[in-house]
Amino acid sequence: MSGLSLTLANGCAEIALDDGKVNALSERLLEDLLAAIGEAAAADCALLIHGRPGVFSGGYDRKLIDAGGPACDAMRAAGDRLTLAMLDYPAPLVIASTGHAMAKAAFMLLLADYRLGAAGAFRIGLNEVAIGMSMPEAAMPQARARLAAPWLNRCALQAELLDPVQAQAAGFYDELLPPEQLLPRARFKLQQLAALDRRAYRETRQLLNAPLRKELAWAFG
C-alpha cells in the first residue's frame, strides 16, 4: 500500500496515512484506503484513521485537480466511494486529525463518529471556492448535516480556514488535545466505543445517517 499502513488487533483497526508529505488523496491512496477500510469492516473492527505528525491530509491531489481529465475524474470517483464507505462503516469510526485537514480531508472528519484534533498552528477547512472549485453537489449535504449552522456559510461558501479551536466550534472536531496526547486518547476512545453493543451501535448509526445517506444516493446518481 502507498503511504498507508493497516494494523488489526483485539477488535480494533488502525489506518495510518503517511506519504512523507501532505497525504494528498491521489486515486492510488484512495484505493488503498478503501481496501484497508474494507478489510477492517470484514474483520468487524472499530476503526481509527489518523495522519502523520503535523498533517492529517491536504485533500485531493491538486496536480490532478488542476490537470483535469480522466485521471482527475477517477480520483474524484474514488473519493465518492470513500464517502459512502465511511458513512456505511458497520462499526465505530474515529479520526485523529494530527494537523492540517483540508477540503476532502475535512469532509472525512465530518463523516466519522468521533473526531479528535491536534491543538496548534494548524488549518482546517473547505477551501474549494478559494481554489476556484464549485462545491461538489454531494458535498453540500455533508456540510449541512454536520457543521454548526452559524459556521456553514463561512466554511462552505466563504472557504474560511479555521484554527483547531474554531474547527471544534464549527463541528469538525469533538475534542482537542496536545499533539503528544492525541493518539493515546484516540485509541482509548476507540476502545470505549468498541465496547458498546455492536448490533445496537450499527443499527443506530444507520438510523442516524439515513437522511444524509439518502441525499448522497441521489447526488451520486
- CA distances (Å), origin 216, targets 48, 80, 104, 126, 148: 23, 9, 15, 18, 19
Domain residues for 68? Answer: 4-220
- DSSP assignment of 177-215: E-HHHHHHHHHHHHHHHHTS-HHHHHHHHHHHHHHHHHH
Structural domain count, the chain: 1
Entry pTM: 0.96
Torsion (CA) 38, 112, 48, 6 in degrees, nearest 10: 30
Give the confidence band of 104 by pLDDT, cuts at 50, 70, 90.
very high
Digit-coded pLDDT (tens) for 120-135: 999 999 999 998 888 8
Instruction: State the pLDDT at residue 215.
Output: 94
The CATH number that applies at residue 185 is: 3.90.226.10
Digit-coded pLDDT (tens) for 21-76: 999 999 999 999 999 999 999 999 999 999 999 999 999 998 888 888 999 999 99
- On the 0-12 / 13-18 / 19+ scale of CB atoms within 10 A, 9 is exposed
| pLDDT beyond 80 at 2 | no
